[in-house]
Chain A
Amino acid sequence: MKIFQPKNLQYLFIAAFAFFFMESCKPKGTQSAATGDASKAYVAPGKYDEFYNFVSGGFSGQMAVYGLPSGRLLRVIPVFSTDPEKGWGYSEETKPMLNTSHGFVPWDDAHHPEMSQTNGEVDGRWVFINGNNTPRIARIDLTTFRTAEIIEIPNSAGNHSSAFITQNTEYVVAGTRFSVPPDDANGDVPIDTYKQNFKGNVSFIKVDSVSGNMKIAFQIRTPGVNFDLSHAGKGNSHGWFFFSCYNSEQANTLLEVNASQRDKDFIMAVNWKKAEEYLKAGKGRKQAVRYAHNTYSDKTHSATSKIETEITILDSKELADMVYLIPCPKSPHGCDVDPTGEYIVGSGKLAALVPVFSFTKLQKAIADKAFDGDYEGIPVIKYEAALHGEVKKPGLGPLHTEFDEKGNAYTSMFVSSEIVKWNVKSLEILDRVPTYYSIGHLMVPGGDSRKPFGKYLVGYNKITKDRYLPTGPELAQSAQLYDISGDKMKLILDFPTIGEPHYAQAAPAGLISKNSLKFFKIEENEHPYVSKGEGQAKVTRDGNKVHINITSIRSHFNPDNIEGVRVGDEVYFHLTNLEQDWDVPHGFSVKGANNSELLVMPGETQTLKWVPEKAGMYPFYCTDFCSALHQEMQGYIRISPAGSNVPLSFSTGKTPTPAAGKTATPATK
């Protein structure tokens, strides 16, 4: 293993010394670490934050929305997860969002949110985020702050090198971390046939510029390496995409050791404009696959899931001038492009330097054929030919880099728990601050776009240890906010996060708040079971299915007395919230339902499925405090034994009587 080589041992000793010193000064109080003006993170009651901060929820499968600089949690958005609070993944309308070719997968590991851009600037329309485990990409709509679309990625496993976008959101990419046998090949092969049978893939998913809808345009088939992270070129390098990869050794076991043998792995540079030409010229090969594509409609208030069956493969071995490999030291992790698009920063997590590549030099190297042989048919550029320079001795364990608008870069150092500020052109180190502890990603608002807002920087840490009051073995995750408006970075706030934060994005609040939807217009509701007004509330029987079109408004349901439902029936409560004002959701729950609640926004319809198993009386009520008479917002549904002849009836505000024949048919049989 590389890091146990003698020369590195010395670094370890030094790092240990540094940690020792840090530990030794801790008793003075962790507050002493705050070097900046903490009042800069203070947002007074009733005041808004300057930035929205979208933070991946890691293994919670969610994405959290914070305000900056306050660190206040504004919302948690279920993405690749169910959320009983919102009925997400529990209501009939939302279940299809979590459908995959493997069926219903209610969880994933969400890593890298990326905001949509126009001309390389954050435009505040959508956030894309990847699900690692069962490879998926989601699009979150920033008018509703809800997941609007999820597309599964075939030929992929551990969808880590995602969900990064091109500068006009032409594409969102998805690179596979695990190489695997392609989906249409027999995967039942010995694992040690990795080198023959396992392939890498990076997917280019076209994003419709108006609707945002995603479609896999093509996949580039690559050698069987592990793709780690990626970023698009911008400005002059627009048209290119850069992916870091490790395991160029193509090991299939104990990667910790076996994928750390080579001195250099690669940054893969993809000329996607060239790939588009090949696609147009019919150079792609159609492959039969199966993957789910799920979309949510704010008109029908329902999701649909479709299984797609074909994609187009462009082979990196066969198609020239499309893919190049740039050697990058020691298992590169972060792959970040500066705001000008000229400099590509590769962070070798085991390296003692940070290489910075130049796009201009890369183009020259390609023109001059300054190659160092090839790797499975892909030209390998000579390291020095593409290199702008190296940041020497930046710290230990460089992972990720973000940028400000003044030509500076900020790199996170996992092993030495610090953030290092350096000048992109001169490669000179300008400042360093400690983080608490073991920082992973970091984020400057717009910090991976052409227009960063270099006022704040947030570090997202892997270890919390003693930062907050202890809560048993499992601790909150930790984020730290730094003021980077001056020459020196200054820590001004600590705040905990939901799940393990990986990457994050942020944008000026005004870009997003102005588009935020307040309620759904009831007139535009196209749900098949909508009740547009209480006059349309009804109960109907269709065989053993009972459909209850029920309405809510402060503070009653209509109907709130329902009889004639029997054991063996499938009951569907289709709740329409008739309110038309902001911030007046109504909730709905029924006793004993093996399900969550519904939380229905004004003008929306959502459906709770319930299969009662025992005759009896079942109360239901509104779960979201809605008015002074919220506690009165309740009803009863009577469940009779199978075969009972209790007639179907429903009412509100009167003694129940058998329902009129036109909307409810008496129980038959």
Chain B
Amino acid sequence: MKMAKLLTVLFFSTSLFFISCQEGVKKDEKELDVQELTKDQPETHGSELKESDITLGTPLDQTMVTTGKGIYELKCQACHKLTEEKLVGPGWKNVTKTRKPLWIMNMITNVEMMLETDPEAQKLLEQCMVRMPNQNITTADARSIVEFMRNNDGEK
């Protein structure tokens, strides 16, 4: 082997040694404030419904009643009976007489917000001990559920 070749390899090999022994990990100049960073953890909620978003009509819209029934059977029936009997959540009989449609629809579409801010919703959580699941129901579908509830409560 030629000496030059040998020297080159030797040079690189020893440079390995120097790099691997390099000291002086530089300290980060500005300290990270972890606690400050943890404050910024937004949880996405649905957008809150307002009174003006909801209109009720009479007589009942039978198409909405049927749609609402279908959604009830697919996504709600597992926890809510149509009588007053509590299963996992409260029974639905007379719910439209004790709760406003706005409250019901926000509970369906924005359950996280309601459990954080609404005292009535919080009271129910204490009774049932299970957070009402977000079943990803659209505003229009929630409105149909309200129509189905009104029908269940004997409205025409």
Q: Do A and B bind each other?
A: yes
Give chain A's interface residues, CB within 8 Å of chain B: 7, 10-11, 14-15, 17-18, 21-22, 25, 28, 31-35, 37-39, 42, 44-47, 392-393, 395, 416, 418, 432-434, 519, 522-523, 532-535, 551, 553-556, 558, 578-581, 584, 627-629, 653
Given contacts A21-B17, A46-B38, A533-B74, contact A32 B12 (CB under 8 A): no
Bitwise, B16-37 to A at CB < 8 A (1) or not (0) is 1101111101101000101001
B37 touches A578 (CB 8 A): no
B34 touches A653 (CB 8 A): no
- Closest Cβ of chain A: how far from B152's Cβ, in Å? 16
- Closest Cβ of chain B: how far from A237's Cβ, in Å? 31
- Closest Cβ of chain A: how far from B52's Cβ, in Å? 27
Given contacts A34-B25, A45-B38, contact A432 B15 (CB under 8 A): yes
Chain A CB within 8 A of B14 CB: yes
Q: In the assembled complex, which residues on chain A have CB atoms less than 8 Å from the CB atom of B40?
A: 46
- Closest Cβ of chain B: how far from A476's Cβ, in Å? 21
Given contacts A21-B17, A555-B130, contact A523 B25 (CB under 8 A): no
| One of B91-99, B131-139, B143-151 at the interface | B131-139
Given contacts A25-B21, A34-B25, contact A47 B37 (CB under 8 A): yes
In the complex, residue of chain A having the shortest beta-carbon distance to the beta carbon of B26 = A37
A535 touches B19 (CB 8 A): no
- Closest Cβ of chain B: how far from A653's Cβ, in Å? 7
B78 touches A7 (CB 8 A): no
Chain A CB within 8 A of B55 CB: no
A18 touches B130 (CB 8 A): no
Q: In the assembled complex, which residues on chain A have CB atoms less than 8 Å from the CB atom of B136?
A: 519, 580-581
Bound CA–CA A535/B73 (angstroms):
7
Given contacts A46-B37, A432-B19, A629-B129, contact A553 B79 (CB under 8 A): yes
| One of B1-9, B59-67, B116-124 at the interface | B1-9
Q: A33-B20, A44-B32 are in contact. List 13 more A-B contacts (CB 8 A).
A: A14-B9, A18-B17, A22-B20, A28-B23, A32-B22, A37-B28, A44-B34, A45-B37, A393-B8, A554-B79, A555-B130, A558-B78, A580-B134
Bound CA–CA A396/B14 (angstroms):
14
Bound CA–CA A653/B133 (angstroms):
20
Give chain B's interface residues, CB within 8 Å of chain A: 1, 5-6, 8-10, 12-17, 19-23, 25-26, 28, 32, 34, 37-38, 40-41, 73-75, 77-79, 87-88, 129-131, 133-137
Pairs of residues from A and B, 10 with the lowest C-beta to C-beta distance, nearest first? A21-B17, A44-B37, A18-B13, A46-B41, A25-B21, A581-B134, A553-B78, A580-B136, A39-B28, A533-B73
Given contacts A22-B20, A432-B19, A433-B19, contact A393 B12 (CB under 8 A): yes
- Closest Cβ of chain A: how far from B147's Cβ, in Å? 19
Bound CA–CA A392/B12 (angstroms):
12
B19 touches A35 (CB 8 A): yes
Q: Which of A392, A519, A553 has the most CB of B within 10 A?
A: A553
In the complex, residue of chain B having the shortest beta-carbon distance to the beta carbon of A535 = B73
B1 touches A7 (CB 8 A): yes
Given contacts A534-B77, A580-B136, contact A35 B25 (CB under 8 A): yes
In the complex, residue of chain B having the shortest beta-carbon distance to the beta carbon of A26 = B20
- Closest Cβ of chain A: how far from B117's Cβ, in Å? 19
Question: How many A-B contacts are there with CB distance less than 8 Å?
Answer: 129
Bound CA–CA A532/B21 (angstroms):
64
**In-complex Cβ contact of A534 among B15, B22, B38, B78 (8 A):** B78
B74 touches A523 (CB 8 A): yes
Q: Which of B6, B32, B77, B131 has the most CB of A within 10 A?
A: B77
Bound CA–CA A395/B16 (angstroms):
10
Bound CA–CA A432/B16 (angstroms):
8
Q: In the assembled complex, which residues on chain A have CB atoms less than 8 Å from the CB atom of B137?
A: 580
A14 touches B13 (CB 8 A): yes
B135 touches A581 (CB 8 A): yes
- Closest Cβ of chain B: how far from A412's Cβ, in Å? 14
Bound CA–CA A392/B78 (angstroms):
71
Bound CA–CA A35/B22 (angstroms):
7
Q: In the assembled complex, which residues on chain B have CB atoms less than 8 Å from the CB atom of A7?
A: 1
Supply 9 A–B pairs (Cβ within 8 Å), ascending by A.
Answer: A11-B9, A35-B22, A38-B25, A46-B41, A532-B74, A553-B79, A555-B130, A556-B78, A628-B129
B78 touches A14 (CB 8 A): no
In the complex, residue of chain B having the shortest beta-carbon distance to the beta carbon of A532 = B74
- Closest Cβ of chain B: how far from A46's Cβ, in Å? 4
Bound CA–CA A44/B22 (angstroms):
28
- Closest Cβ of chain B: how far from A506's Cβ, in Å? 24
- Closest Cβ of chain A: how far from B103's Cβ, in Å? 20
**In-complex Cβ contact of A32 among B21, B88, B134 (8 A):** B21
Q: In the assembled complex, which residues on chain B have CB atoms less than 8 Å from the CB atom of A558?
A: 78
- Closest Cβ of chain B: how far from A154's Cβ, in Å? 44
A25 touches B16 (CB 8 A): no
**In-complex Cβ contact of B17 among A25, A31, A535 (8 A):** A25
Bound CA–CA A215/B125 (angstroms):
53
**In-complex Cβ contact of B25 among A31, A532, A627 (8 A):** A31
Bound CA–CA A32/B37 (angstroms):
28
Q: Which of A38, A433, A578 has the most CB of B within 10 A?
A: A578
Bound CA–CA A39/B131 (angstroms):
39
Bound CA–CA A653/B86 (angstroms):
12
In the complex, residue of chain A having the shortest beta-carbon distance to the beta carbon of B23 = A32
Q: Which of B16, B88, B133 has the most CB of A within 10 A?
A: B16
- Closest Cβ of chain A: how far from B44's Cβ, in Å? 10
Bound CA–CA A408/B22 (angstroms):
24
A434 touches B19 (CB 8 A): yes
